[in-house]
Structure 1
Amino acid sequence: MVLKRDIKELAAPEFDLAVSLFLPIRTVPDEKEKNRIRLKKLMKLAEEKAKAGDRYRASIFDEAWRRLEEAVLFEGPETKGAAIFFSEKSFHVLRLPVRVGEEVSVADRYHIAPLLPALEPQGIFYVAALSLKESALFRCDKSGCVRIDKLHMPSFGAIRGQTELPADVGFHSSSRGTAGTPGIQHHSQGDSPEDYHQVQIQQYAHGVANAVDSYLAGIHAPLVALGDPNLLGYFRKFSQHPGLMRESVAKAYHGMSDAELFSQVWPVVEPVLVRPLNQALERLSAGFERGDDTVCMLESEIVQMARSGRVETLLLAEEDRPSPGTLGPNNKGTPEEEAVSMLRNVMARQTLVHDGDIFVVPQERLPEEGMAGAILRY
């Protein structure tokens, strides 16, 4: 997912030349070269638009070409789309966990509207299920959780096998014990077997955290940790994932079904994912039914109110798009499509610049047919 602060940083500045490119990513090996071909076509189209609008600067495009050669765009199992932004002052690449249509914008500000469906929270979250017998990562939404099988997790058994000392090395017996029972073991270097076991658990938790962080690199969706309290503590210490939630679930994962896992973690993430959206929709519908001035459903008025900082929450209808991979005839959107896209962009940008919230919802969830609805601050 994309963080609100990331989009806000993209939305605020004004440039002499601001280029925004969006393209769907196909991760099937045979399609990777086609990804690069589509990207080159989008860059060529951006150059044409810049020249037509008297904004073209060869040095900016040359630098963007160079940096795109170095960028990692087409890797990662969760990558379904990519967004590229560059200007005379900045260069940004975002790998997106949602599919986007091909789109090119050349203006004085970055075009952020296509990023909004990837804005967290939109319903996707992850669960790190921790156990000394086996750990796993799950991708979840409000309907349930699915285990990610491609992720390679470390094995606690392998760590024990690599680091366990032989029973007769480093320990000595303080007594003979009873018949058939070994005496109490003491480590000659000062560490008890329990201390050594904790070191092994730390190594294992560190390895699991690294595996999860690597898989979720660039994905800012919420991450919930579930497992034995001791293992949870070490995992939280080592994980650097920005979406790791403060609240964990201290339940043994081993033997837990996917349905049971979901029932344990959903109460933790529901307040973050679902309730804010439902509350916003309820407020919008109630204000619309009353006909009062706490809400607005007219796009032209929403733009003006967003510019003046009055929009507290913007609810945008999901955008109708052509099939991913096409811009329409001659790789260009129609004037009507470009006008709608620009209007969505202005509403979203001005809302974010003034610290408002944005949700993207199916059109039928809005009180009446239209592009957007807004809840006003005053």
Structure 2
Amino acid sequence: MNKMKLANKAFSLQEKLVELLQVKESPCISIIKQNDNPSINNDKLRIEIKNGVKTAVEELEKQGYDKRLIKKLEERMTALEESVQYNNYLRGVGLFASANVAEVLYFPMEVKPKVIVDDSFEIRDLLLQVNRTFQYDVLVLSKKKTRFFNGFGKDLHEALDSDIPKGAEDFLKRENKAGVDPAKTESIALEKYARELDHFLRLHAPMQMPLILMGDVKLLGYFRKYAKRPNKIIGEIEGSYDDMRVSEISEKINEQLQAFSEKWEDQLLATIQDDIDRLRYTAGIQEAWQAAAMKEARMLLTERGYRVEGYSTKDGLFFVFNPEFAPDGDFHEDAIDDLAEMVLAQGGESYFLAPGKLEKFDKVLLTTRF
């Protein structure tokens, strides 16, 4: 399993992909590599990425870009290559470069290897794959040490970073003073531990990312008491997990993952109930498409597994099922994916819920800005 170093985790992978989706300049270089055999050093991946940079330079030359621009972009790509954290158990890596962009992204899922030079970054498939997968964070509280994980479906990836607070024992030692009531000392120390963990999450976890807690029952209680965003918590698993392997922790979570996911979905629906009561929403693919095309979208909820094909009119404002009503429009093989991309590109949110959750909304619910 991956042990990943935090890289400004306050921005989720999906948010980073949305940022790249909106970049329109020429050239945009996308180097995406799959890691078929994850290992500590990832020697094969090093070679793949180096060759990817070489291929991108050759493609720039083939497309006739200015030599000075090619030199600048080659230096930028080389710098990105050298910044890759190869000592992680990576599933995939993406290097994205242009005259104004330089970004390395780590993927917790399988990716299709490619090197593309175009007027936009090649990330649509990646974005839609990430958007369709249930993501969450896991925080393990312990006297010995604190552990933090990023969950992607059934996969779990441990993050290693100096910013992660130490275990509760470290806080107890700081507060231990002669002549002071031990019970009072413990209460003060554990409150500080809980507040420090909460501060860490606010810096390194996206605001909407659901959270699973694991650890000692007393520590879990303190965290719940002092957490600034208690609604993020979708589940707790009591026990000691100091030295447990990532694969074993993943098994523990997967036993209850469906229940955790359902709770998060219920919480998500509860957060938009006011929008529903005030009729600030649309239901069904056609109404949702029109609202998104008019840039009124806020949050899109769709049932998992629901697919629909159809046509958008020439101006893009309407979605129809009969091509006769859109003679000069575009065909959409999977309109749900296209709608999700439209919503994400304008700063909205998109989530997929269990089948049946949105039956009364014709499987598609979109809250609107007005």
Q: TM-score w.r.t. structure 1 length?
A: 0.56
Residue 9 of structure 1 pairs with residue 34 of structure 2: no
**Distance in 2 separating the partners of 1:278 and 1:101:** 26
Distance 1:304 1:356, change over 3 A: farther
**Distance in 2 separating the partners of 1:84 and 1:49:** 15
Q: 1:281 is matched with which residue: 286, 298, 306? A: 306
Flag structure 2 segments of 5+ consecutive residues without an equivalent.
Answer: 1-10, 242-251, 270-299, 312-317, 353-363
Distance 1:82 1:232, change over 3 A: same
Residue 81 of structure 1 pairs with residue 92 of structure 2: yes
Q: 5 Å matches for 1:14-33?
A: 14-25=24-35, 26-30=37-41, 32-33=42-43
Q: 1:248 is matched with which residue: 233, 254, 257? A: 233
Flag structure 1 segments of 5+ consecutive residues without an equivalent.
Answer: 172-186, 238-243, 288-292, 317-343, 361-373
**Distance in 2 separating the partners of 1:132 and 1:303:** 65
Residue 230 of structure 1 pairs with residue 222 of structure 2: yes
User: Residue in 2 aligned with 1:120?
Assistant: 131
**SS of aligned partner of 1:119:** helix
Per-residue CA deviations over 1:283-312 (Å, capped at 9, x if unaligned) read x4999xxxxx855599xx899559xxxx9x
**SS of aligned partner of 1:13:** coil
User: Residue in 1 aligned with 2:117?
Assistant: 106
Q: CA deviation at 1:106?
A: 0.6
**Distance in 2 separating the partners of 1:350 and 1:147:** 29
Which AA in structure 2 matches 1:74? Y
User: Residue in 2 aligned with 1:176?
Assistant: none
**SS of aligned partner of 2:233:** coil
Q: CA deviation at 1:42?
A: 0.9
How big is the alpha-carbon RMSD for the aligned residues of Structure 1 and Structure 2? 5.2
Q: 2:260 is matched with which residue: 250, 257, 265? A: 265
User: Residue in 2 aligned with 1:64?
Assistant: 76
User: Residue in 1 aligned with 2:285?
Assistant: none
Residue 36 of structure 1 pairs with residue 46 of structure 2: yes
**SS of aligned partner of 1:29:** coil
**Distance in 2 separating the partners of 1:120 and 1:302:** 31
Residue 295 of structure 1 contacts residue 376 of structure 1 at CA under 8 Å; is this kept in 2? Answer: no
**Distance in 2 separating the partners of 1:92 and 1:123:** 24
Which AA in structure 1 matches 2:172? R
Q: CA deviation at 1:229?
A: 3.5
Distance 1:286 1:13, change over 3 A: closer
| Greater C-alpha radius of gyration | 1
User: Residue in 1 aligned with 2:289?
Assistant: none
Range with greater deviation from structure 2 (249-258 or 262-271): 249-258
**Distance in 2 separating the partners of 1:33 and 1:302:** 53
**Distance in 1 separating the partners of 2:176 and 2:15:** 46
Residue 134 of structure 1 contacts residue 254 of structure 1 at CA under 8 Å; is this kept in 2? Answer: no
**Distance in 1 separating the partners of 2:257 and 2:351:** 24
**SS of aligned partner of 1:281:** coil
Per-residue CA deviations over 1:337-356 (Å, capped at 9, x if unaligned) read xxxxxxx9xx9866754567
**Distance in 1 separating the partners of 2:87 and 2:335:** 33
Which AA in structure 2 matches 1:269? W
Residue 81 of structure 2 contacts residue 95 of structure 2 at CA under 8 Å; is this kept in 1? Answer: no
- Provide the aligned length of Structure 1 versus Structure 2: 288
Distance 1:106 1:350, change over 3 A: farther
Q: TM-score w.r.t. structure 2 length?
A: 0.57
Residue 199 of structure 1 pairs with residue 183 of structure 2: no
